[in-house]
Amino acid sequence: MDRVERQIRRRKAREQAIALLAIGLFALLPPLAGLFELDRRIFGLPFTLVYLFTVWAALIVGAAVVARRLQDDDET
Amino acid sequence: MISIDVLLLVCLGYVALLFGVAFLVDRRAQAGQLRWLSSPVIYTLSISVYCTSWTFYGAVGSAARNGLEFMTIYLGPTLVFIGWWHLLRKLVRIGRANRITSIADLISSRYGKSPSLAVLATLIALIATTPYIALQLQSVTVSYQIIAGEADRALTAFWIAAGMAAFAILFGTRNVDANERHHGVVAAIAFEAIVKLAALIAVGVFAIWGVSGGLSNIFADVPVEVVYGGGSIFDARWVALTFLSATAIICLPRQFQVTVVENIDERHLATASWMFPLYLFGMTLFIAPIAIAGLKLMPADANPDFYVLTLPLAEGREELALLAYLGGFSSATSMVIVAAIAVSTMVSNHIVMPVALAFMSAGREVSGDVRQLLKTSRRASIALILGLGYLYFYLSGGSDALAAIGLIAFAGVAQFLPSLLGALYWHGATRAGALAGMSAGFVLWAYTLLLPSFGDSLLMSAGTLSQGPWGIDLLRPQALMGLEGMDPLIHALVVSLGANALLLLGVSAITQPGPLERLQVAQFVDVFRAPGGGGDATAFSVREGTVEELYVLAQRILGGETARQLFDDMARAQGRTSGLPAPTDAVIAELERVLAGSVGAASAHAMVARVAERQIVGMDALIDIADEAQRLIETSRALSEKSEELEETARQLTDANERLRQLDAQKDEFLSQVSHELRTPMTSIRSFSEILLDPGGVAPEDRDRFAGIINEESQRLTRLLDEILDMSRLEAGGFDLTLSPVDVGRAIASAAEAVSPLARNDGVRLQVANIASPVMALANEDRLRQALINLIGNAIKYNGASEPEVDVKAHLVDGGVRIDVSDNGGGVSRAEADSVFEKFTRGDKSGRDRGAGLGLPISRAIMRAMGGDLIIEFRDDGSSYFQLRLPETAPVET
């Protein structure tokens, strides 16, 4: 049971890594990113600037989590 | 203004510090104490050499001019590192597995260790790095001028270039590590990474809170378009730049060096995957605020590239300015050092060394001289690289936006990308394809981007730029094939990378990889499947045709019958009644075990693993190996058989030799005996004839007697010669006895008659037994008679009894005819039984008649020649008789 579980977790971690990359690609590139090209401001800061840095930070956190998962289960 | 002395002191002090760090770390690395250094943090920080003075100064300039576009330079690498599991990990794995020393090494190695590809890649790296180095020179020069006051730009830049070359040479070529690892340099640039991050954050904090009164204020009265830059943010250029920076993070020689070559532990990548984007995040967080602050506070003609420096200076913060200067200086020198080391490694490995080795005389001691040559060529290359960078800086005027120059370099190294991806992921990418693609891409890049960057120059005049070479409109450098209206960078990208990729695809499709290339394909593309690569796949990823291939392999090594038996057994064990077994791990393990018996465990494992794991090179090469092994086994078997045969032959020769010697001895004996036998009668004849010739006369009765003796002796001599002749003929086997059915009784009777005068003379009674019905034997009648006469004569002559009797009996036994010749004189004694058949032997009772002694041997030879034999039989009472044996035959039909 343990081996099967580990195999599933491993697969899941890999899927999460791909998902993360896909999210990054979509969120940071047109056409999707174009949706966030707004003139507004958040806390006095330009919206798109905040958007980009927020997405970036989220990706970093996501990468950290996924990396730990991939590391745990990789037997190299 | 800060005094020049202080500035120089600070710079030198800082450089000394860096040296100290590098030196210490190198020492500890050599002593084997690498533990601290193999922290993933150090690894990640070293990757941050990506952030050069382009980031430190030029990003602010880009933000001020073009808005948020600057972020693409950092988002691209972020995406690559987030997706590290797929691309970066494979790259690092391949690099470690194949001991790759540079990106040129990787490309050339993958495509069959091609020297031409290595040279091409090195040249591209060299030329593409040149603008990048120029931009570092420019930033250091200008920042120096800003802080220290006006100075001759070209001269300053020259000294700076020389100084950087010296640093790079001292840092990077002190010793040549076998793996091309420079632990000291890595540690030093990790340190520098912290310095530049700290400096930039310090200026950023200053810009927001020191100057603008807080985060919300800083953007307060700035129109959004200024922040965003003119036009749409997320346009084609955004995509192109993101793509370019993503490419650069892998393809830049210095990045390849720190990410792949200097990698100590693959697991560090996992940490770098988030920590490096975090670093980038930290570096870029304050860029926009600094740019805005600069735009607001600095005069309109100030170079926005250097707001990081001029802002603190303008506000009177000299220490901050010094820190900023140090940060910029740090970022520039780290780039130059690493880039110079990386490119000089390529130049010396792929250009200088092959040429030098070709010219090297055979006599020279290789290792010492080579290392010296290596070091010297590295140093010379570094000087060359810096020299070219300076040249570019000089020719291009040194006033362009830093970011623009950097992008030219990015586009140059991007030409590696198609071949690199092909190397990693496409089995079908060939050397020819890579050569074609990379050359075309490079040429087009140079034509559309590099040369135009000089503006009006000898390399490309303004006229060529605007109207095309020789006025050919379609060949305009920035609008090839009529692709007008594109951003020059995008145009160059599309054209160069497009041609590059298309040629790689097309030419690879129509060419075949060479044998070495095929091997390398497996090493690279399938690195996660190979036994050495481990990790990703399960023990064997087995597919349909595998079992057949394993069967063929088994047949080659074990032989047809054995292989069939083995596979049958395995199939049956799986419950299959026919066909081959399913390729389970157990089957494969079993096969390996059996094969190991023939070719050894290591080879068996390698062969089976390769077949089972879908190695392309696989079957043909493996079958050749198997055939070779088979041939070797057979040859050695044949050799051992041959040597056994030779031993046998030698033995036989020895035996034959022995026999020949024996025969020789026998012959000598025979000759001496014969001559003795002949001499005796000859002596009598001579002496008696001499007497007869005596003039003194001989009495008449003596005359007759003597003549009679001579006559007798002559006859005896003749008989003897006849017997000898007979004997020799019989022995030589050239004696053709014609056989026919013979009436034995008649032969006996005839022989008895011939002997009867002798019997009467000696007073011996001869008895011949009557035979009821005729007994037929297959014999030669004359010869049989001769033998019988001899035997019976012997019996008569040698009978010592007082009333001598000789009996002759014939009887049938079991398909054979027996003729017994016995006498009442006891016959031959046991002791004589063997020797009577010897030539020239006469029995004990030989006094009365002097025969030659050949009679019995001749008779026996006759009997044997007729398919029978002559033997002596003994009775219980010790007496003996002679027995002739003959095969019976049917009587002739009359």
The neighbour count for residue A48, using CB atoms within 10 Å, is 24
Rounded to whole angstroms, the Cα distance separating B767 from B723 reads 27
> B418-432: per-residue pLDDT in tens?
999 999 999 889 999
Q: What is the pLDDT of residue B325?
A: 93
CB atoms within 10 A of CB B667: 10
Residues in B touching A21 (Cβ below 8 Å): 79, 82-83
Chain B nearest C-alpha distance from A31 (Å): 8
- What percent of chain B has a predicted confidence (pLDDT) above 70? 89
Q: Report yes or no: B220 at the A interface, CB cutoff 8 Å.
A: yes
Cα separation, A47 vs A35, whole angstroms: 11
pLDDT for B734: 58
Q: Is the pLDDT of residue B873 over 90?
A: no
Burial of B365 (0-12, 13-18, 19+ CB in 10 A): exposed
CB B808 within 8 A of CB B767: yes
Side by side, which strands form the sheet with B869-874?
A: B765-768, B805-813, B816-823, B880-887, B869-874
- Is some CB atom of chain A closer than 8 A to the CB atom of B85? yes
How large a percentage of chain B has pLDDT more than 90?
Answer: 29
Examine the pLDDT at B533 and tell me if it is beyond 50.
no
Average the pLDDT over B436-457 and give the result: 89
Least confident range from A50-54, B20-24, B572-576: namely: B572-576
Contacts of residue B38, Cβ cutoff 8 Å, sequence gap at least 6 = B264, B265, B268
pLDDT-derived band at B132 (thresholds 50, 70, 90) equals: very high
**Which tokens hold the place of B199?**
């400096």
Task: Find the farthest-apart pair of alpha carbons in chain A and give their distance in angstroms, rounded.
Answer: 54
Which pLDDT belongs to residue B395? 84
Q: Average pLDDT of B117-123?
A: 94
Phi, psi values for residue B734, rounded to 5°: -90, 20
The whole-chain average pLDDT of chain B stands at 83
Strands B880-887 and B869-874: antiparallel
pLDDT at B852 over 90: no
Who has greater pLDDT, B543 or B297? B297
pLDDT classification of B253: cutoffs 50, 70, 90: very high
pLDDT in tens, B300-331: 888 889 999 999 988 888 889 999 999 999 99
A57 Cα to chain B: minimum distance (Å):
8
Q: Minimal Cα distance from A52: which residue of B?
A: B71
Question: Tokens in use for A42?
Answer: 């958040």
CA of A19 to nearest chain B CA: how many angstroms apart?
A: 10
| Beta carbons within 8 Å of B241's beta carbon, 6+ residues apart | B69, B72, B73, B76, B407
User: Of B274, B262, B88, which Cα lies nearest the Cα of B181?
Assistant: B262
Residue with tokens 């017997």: B723
Q: Is the pLDDT of residue B514 over 50?
A: yes
Spatial distance between the Cα atoms of B793 and B858, rounded to a whole number of angstroms: 14
User: Does residue B421 sit in helix, strand or coil?
Assistant: helix
- Confidence at B544, pLDDT banded by 50, 70, 90: very low
Report the C-alpha gap between B464 and A46 in whole angstroms.
43
Q: Which of B733, B745, B675, B684 is nearest to B710 (CA)?
A: B684
Amino acid B695: pLDDT: 81
B13-66 pLDDT tens trace: 898 898 888 888 888 877 777 676 778 999 999 999 999 999 999 999 999 988
CA B572 centroid distance within chain = 36
Phi/psi region, residue B131 (left: phi>0; alpha: psi -120 to 50; beta: rest), is: alpha
Residues above pLDDT 90, as percent of chain A: 33
Say how many CB pairs under 8 Å bridge A and B: 104
Tokens of A4: 């099967």
Torsion of CA B297, B301, B304, B307, to 10 degrees: -50
Facing B273 at nearest CB: one of A29, A63, A76:
A63
Highest mean pLDDT among A55-59, B23-27, B777-781, B824-828 belongs to: A55-59
pLDDT digits (tens, 9 = 90+) for B67-119: 899 999 999 999 999 988 889 999 999 988 888 888 999 998 899 888 899 99
Question: Are residues A63 and B82, on separate chains, in Cβ contact within 8 Å?
Answer: yes
CA distance B94 to chain A (A): 14
Residue B670 vs residues B531, B679, B719, B727, B852: alpha-carbon distances, Å: 83, 14, 17, 11, 13
**Are B85 and A14 in contact (CB < 8 Å)?**
yes
Please check the confidence at residue B540 and state whether its pLDDT lies above 50: no
Max mean pLDDT among B173-187, B534-548, B643-657, B710-724 falls in B643-657
Inform me whether the C-beta atom of residue B75 falls under 8 Å from chain A C-beta atoms.
yes
The pLDDT value given to residue B168: 87
What is the arithmetic mean of pLDDT over B662-682?
Answer: 83
B880 three-class SS: strand
d(CA B550, CA B545): 9
Q: Which of B216, B228, B277 sits opposite A60 (nearest CB)?
A: B277
H or E, element range at B727: helix B700-732
Distance (Å) of CA B137 to CA A69, B402, B412: 43, 10, 19
pLDDT tens, residue by residue, B469-501? 777 777 777 777 777 778 889 999 999 999 999
Best of A15, A20, A38, A45 to disrupt the B interface by mutation (most B CBs within 10 Å)? A45
Per-residue pLDDT for A75 more than 70? no
Q: What is the pLDDT of residues B730-779, one digit of tens each?
A: 777 656 678 888 888 888 888 888 888 888 887 888 888 877 677 788 88
pLDDT at residue B51, rounded to an integer: 95
CA–CA min distance B451, chain A (Å): 31
DSSP code at position B703: H
Q: How sure is the predictor about B375, in pLDDT bands with cuts at 50, 70 and 90? A: confident
What's the CA dihedral at B101, B106, B107, B110 to 10 degrees?
140
Quick check: B516 and B526 in contact, CB under 8 A?
no
pTM: 0.64
**Bridge-based pairing state of the strands B765-768 and B805-813:** parallel
Q: Say if residue B535's pLDDT is above 50.
A: no
3-state secondary structure of B873: strand
